[in-house]
Structure 1
Amino acid sequence: MITQSGSLLKSLRQEAVALFREGVAAANPEQAVAAALVERSATLEQASWIILVAFGKAACPMARAAMPFARDRLATAIALTNRENVEPVYGVEVIAGGHPIPDKGSIAGAAATERAVSRAQHGDLVLVFW
């Protein structure tokens, strides 16, 4: 009896660890964006131009994940994040803003985002990640 309950406990523990790992992988911003864009590849292909804007702590990883999907039709790309999470992303204007209190960087990021999305024309696609 002890062997069976020990075996059951081991099996339940392995299943719990596997579920935890799946949850962590699903919450990975780069993986989540890539998966979402694969599902929407037909929409991406129909776009004349793509405007990409990403906000928040995961803005840079999300923008990086989207770039392979948007690069051929990319009009502009902006990632607005806090200073601690700034990292270079090829082809993306990365802007650091204050958090939780907005600062000059936050205002510059909002202005850059407004300029980018205001250029959208009929047939363009604006991708927003946050």
Structure 2
Amino acid sequence: MTTEQVANQLVAYCRNNEESKAYQELYSPEITSIEMVEPMKEVQGFEGLAKKGEWWKENFEVHANEVSEPLIADNHFTVRFWMDTTHKPSGQRTQMNELAVYEVKDGKIWREQFFYNTGE
């Protein structure tokens, strides 16, 4: 798949809450996923993504989200996510913009990095 095809398919999956399909079809087994803060600052591979997903579901309730069209540059693309969430342990509800940058290699996403306001 081209970078544009990967980007468009990822956006479609995210808009339909089908992230598990995205992981199965679009991600490389060598994926590196980088967040701005702990506890999941950097994870490797499908096992790392699964643990990160479990942590997210345990800690956040998503009330609404929006996914932008991708912006593509060579073998990179970016997507803006807007989310309205509640942090389950504290009960704090917030809205945030998140900028995700993806790198595609051999037709698969092999690196993703997320940027957002950490509240600090």
Same structural fold, with TM-score higher than 0.5 when normalized by the shorter chain: no
Of Structure 1 and Structure 2, which has the larger fraction of its residues in helix?
1
Q: Is the radius of gyration larger for structure 1 or structure 2?
A: 1
Of the two structures, which has the highest relative contact order with CA contacts closer than 8 Å and spacing of 6 or more? 2
Of Structure 1 and Structure 2, which has the larger fraction of its residues in strand?
2
TM-score by length of 1: 0.27
